Structure 1
Amino acid sequence: MEEARISDLEEIRERLDMISHYIRLELPGSNPAKARDYLSQVVKALNENRTSEARGLIKHAFTAAMPDVEFLLSTALKLRHDGEKLLRNKKFKEAISKFEDSLDRYRQALTAVEVMGDEEKAGKLRNAMETTDNFRKIANFRMIYKRIKEAKNEKELYAALEELQHIEVPMEDDRFDAMVTAHRRLIAMQLQTVAGMIREAHNLYRKEDLYSAKKTLEAAKASLDKLMETAKKYGLVNEIGQVGELLKAVTHNISGISELLFTGEKIRGWHFRVPKEEDFTIQEEEEEEEFFDMSLDFQKRFEMIRERYRIKDVIGEGAFSYVYKAVNSRGQKVAVKILKYLDRDYMESFKREFEVSAKLEHENIVRVYRADPQLGFLEMELATGNFEDYKKPLPVELAGRVVYEVSRALHHAHSKGIYHRDVKPSNILYFGSPERAKLGDWGLAKLASRATRKSSQVKHKTILYASPEQTSKRFGKLDHRSDIFQLGVVFYEFLTGRHPFIGETDGEIINNILNENPEPPSSLNPDARPFDAIVMKMIEKDPRNRYQTVRELQNDLREVLIRMGERVRESLGTRDVVEHMTKTICLMMKAIADGSSTNWRTDLQAIIRELNSLYEQTGDRDVLGVERQLELMLEQDAKPTEESLRQILPVLNRYGYACTMG
């Protein structure tokens, strides 16, 4: 007689509850009589301690009792669609109930499919359940967000905030935006209390109850200090300004009353400041109601996109989009960038990225293969990674080479009258080797004739890389020199591992960008000294004091990199020396091909000398053949074309450094 296993008995007990439930309902596809017959056999097997046999029989009983899977799926889908309609009509509580009922039906269907062992269908059902669960999260989130928007007092706001902290949200950006909205409203409410305290203090001052007036003002100041902390924590720039002005007024009043108490005399010119009503009023930002409605459509769009691609992992997330690793219908590995929302602003950014990418074909610009505005996605070349995730500081020479490659992308864009306006590490991607860098995410780019300060303002991390002219009118109009400043900030970070204008809040960062001058990179990393002058010129606050063109920047970068390579070679073995030679040759070839060389004949002579040294190191007759070919061009005063230089690459690429061009 076999020994009963606890796990078998537990499984039998769980199945019995569901079987009893379905037998009572008698749903389409269910066979209650057959299920009861199997249950009788289960009881008999258990009485005779044949547990394994009972476990097999309970599965048959379950299958007989279960309604038709497609009946369950039909019910689940209808409930989900009902929930979507309720969600669009802002009946959030009812929508949540429908989505939960839909999920219950899906779980029942999944259990049946798993019993049948059909893993393909089970996988599809899990995807459908994930979609439905996301709808439930959206409905729950929007219900709480509505409470935040409609809260009549601080108690209601704090209750909504407490709930917001613990719920699952469709996207973390949604939680952040709701937190910002809630704290903006809290500050607005609390400022009204502060307003009353200041008015009360003024009345007490007029009655010459100076002690009570001062204590009331000190309490108002303590409240304002806390509000300032909150405003800074959530980057509420307008609120920081308003609270700051009120703090000045309250501090002024306290100082004047203190002097009056101790001297019996008013400070000359001092008077009690009672701020105007508008100083206490914070205008709430209008939100497009469709903003959250469009989050509803993400899962639908995602399912339709999955019909065209084999979607792998999420490899990135920005303010506007998710980026997935995928395989297209041709079997090509690609990146698929899917917009989170299809509202007007995001669609404008999406279309611009595709249009700009179509105009910019260059080896240092990420290629976009196709766009689908209806579903809101781009298909583009798949990168190995980006420099936001790359360990910093970078080796100094590598940092210089990456910045040189990005400058090539910017020069090409500027020559077409296009500014990027959002140069930052996350938008600099690399392919295989980190030296194969490309600039991506042209969603904020604008034609020179249409560039504006307003359209350059972006949220969250982007503010770290904003140029002075993107944040203040006093530095003049926005042009290509803004890109140079942003690349300079990136260069500083690459060399030191630290941001030059870092601060705890957006307001502090903006102040540092506008008013503070960082120490040169070498103060943090002595090895960065060769690039000090270049970086500091790139991040000059006044655009007139920066590099005026990317060409000027490229020439200085190239000179430093070549000198650096020559010094480094003295301490390297033969193999590394050869690789450095090919890097230098590649650098000068690109300068001639790009037209950035100030004297192509001088650069060509330098390339010939490097090729001669490379031949001495390798004995490669093909290298000697390339050297003689270029000597002939020099004798005939024939400037090499990009195509003729590209033909040299297979010979150079034998020696450890993959040089690319065009």
Structure 2
Amino acid sequence: MLEEIREVMLELKELIKDDSYYNASKDIIRKAIREIKKDNFKRALKLLKEAKNLALKERNIVERIKNLEAKIKIHGKARNVANSIYDRIRSGDLDNAEDLIPELEKILEIENRIFMKIEDVERLISRELPGSNPKEAKELKEEALNLLKKGRFNEAEELIEKAKLAAKPTPDYLLQRAKDFALDAERSFTQDKFEESIELWRRSLEEYERAKEAARERKDEDLVRDIEFAQERIRQNIENAKIAIDNREMLKLVSKANEYVEKGNKFFSSKNYDSALESYMEAKRLFKSALDIAEKRNFERDKIREGLESVEESIEHVKLGKGEYLIDVDIEDPEAERKLYSALEYLRSLDVRDKDRVKELIQECSERIIAVKIRNAERMMEKTEELFKSGEYYDARERYREVWQYLNEVEDEAVSLKVTSKIPYIQDLRNACDRNITQIRRLLVDVGEVKPEIYKVEDVRRGIKIEVERGGGFIRDERLEKLREEYESLEYIGSGGFARVYKAKRRDDGSIVALKIPEELTREAEKVFFNELENWRKLNHRNIVRLIEPRLTPFPHMVLEYVDGGSLKEGRMDIEDACRIINDVARGIEYAHSQLVIHGDIKPQNILLKRIGRFYEAKITDFGLAVAVTKSRSIRGFTPMYSAPEQLEGKVSEKTDVYQLGLLLYVMLTGFNPFDGKTNSEIEEKVRNYIPEPPSKYNRDAEGLDDLIMRCLSKDPEKRPSVREFREGVYEFMKKRYGISLHLTKDYRTLVEKSLYLAFYHAKEGDLVSCLKELKFAEGKIRDEKLKRDCRCLIGQIDYMVREGIKGESIVEEIEKFLKLVE
């Protein structure tokens, strides 16, 4: 037990180190010591344990008081309560001391809360904010501090709130600052400094927010509502400024896109297709960005969409134009085969909407590839013929075998590329190789007797070219069922104006015709239909599509001549082809004028092309808008981009057709219409006032036609040439051009074809002397004996007509037939 007493005494000694407190514990310890002296150890141990528990309780109270005492910041009510607790501890009244602690905590919380507000006010006072009253705030703060020390908490808190208001700017001051920022913002907005105006309005909002807070502190609810109304208006102004920024950005994007479109147009005109595509793609990106802004802000979007659609079409034109450019390879070019394979790979990679055109280009490229390979085989055979002539029979036979194998591979590729039109000619060449190999073998085994006849390249007949049918399938039209009894097949070709056009095969004789069927027989469509019929019935010319017969049953329609080459495509073309086509069109128009018919709508879509050998002859179609010279000279429904200035005023004359002839030739030579625009109003403005650059600026070969074309495009109809003058000008240019072209041509087949075609044109012009000259030139170059005989017969017939002074259209048809034989 003594040991236990010793341990408790040590613990007590450690607890009551601080002599300032623990008086109650010390009294009990003294009692315990007296009991030990009496050897009453049990009683002493009990007292010591009681003293220990009391000491622990006292230490706990002291620690709590010290922690709270550290939070006391002023000598006020909290300090007085703390001192009272200490007094009770020293007197041993621990229960009362402990009871005062919650009161101290509550008082201390209030004092510190108020004191923190006082510190906030002191910081505000030290800043001396504009629009505040630091002196009044300081006085109120001092008075609040005194009341806090006295424990008059409510009064102190009220005063410190007043001091805080005095230390802050007044609502009126803040409102003035907000107003100043708002006025500066409005001035910036009117100067189109939208970003600056937004920043100023944001600062104004901040000042209004401070003013609103000050008004709330003063419980001025009316002012709060007024400020909120002003803030809402400023937020709307900020949004309007953002809209203005977006509008400016949209216009900037459109302007930049337009610049890239112009660049693209120039690159396209100069056949720099890669740069054109790059420019158009950038224009597309800019238009799309502009459209995104327009849709976000609900701006006017139609024009941007038109621009985007236009540039997307341009991208297609560029891709297709590049394809056309890549396949335009001279078959005599040593690199022709490589270039054409590269072009074929490019065409197959194209992803455009006009799939039919891509197919056409792929087919054309494939045909050119086979043509180049055939030409290679021909050259190989020609060299082999030289070996034979020099007596190198063995080498000639081996070379013929190589050519035979090469032609076998060419035929396989022709099948693979679906160039079936060339297969008969390839087979003929291969058969020629077989025969030559056999003849040489005979020569080698019987030198004395065999006299072989070597089959030369030019002795081989060319196969008939098979044309792929054009068209886009069938169009649903219940009326077509009524035509099935008369026609074996009906294939939709296209539409325009008020009618659809179908390719049809007659059941009775198997002939191919075109049917023009009005889409709907409204009063307006009926008027156009019968006007076209009335004018067309007057016309019978080889350069005008022939009206075979008008039909009223089973419903009104026209049966027309079918033209196999399709319509003229817009875009730049070879100058010789352009002159031939425009000469044909001019001949047709001149004849129409002689029958008192003005066409009034000459454009690429109304020019059809008929194949004649490797060339085309133009035929005019669509007389729906034509007018009789003797009737009222007004016209409606013309195509704005190809219209003459007087058509915009509702007038038309023979000189209107002259204007359109000149413009059509301009487009064929340059590849673009100078009066094109984004809107009808822009197009009409150009037609009325714009004077385009001469075509030679974009095509140097056209220099000899500049004056003639620019006269046709005169705004004054009286200054334009007549159709005859225009046609004769083009004809003279063609004669000169063809002379140079023939002089530079080395390939005999090309030389023959061009000579015959020039003779064909001379005949159409009635110049039989020149026609005869070209035929005689061609006859001297023809190697095929049968063709040579046919050509001599033709020459004899024309020679007789020249001597007798006879003129006739039949001779033109004879030359046309001969051209087809030569192909």
TM-score by length of 1: 0.49
Report the structure number with the largest CA radius of gyration: 2
Point out which structure has higher relative CO (alpha carbons under 8 A, 6+ apart): 1
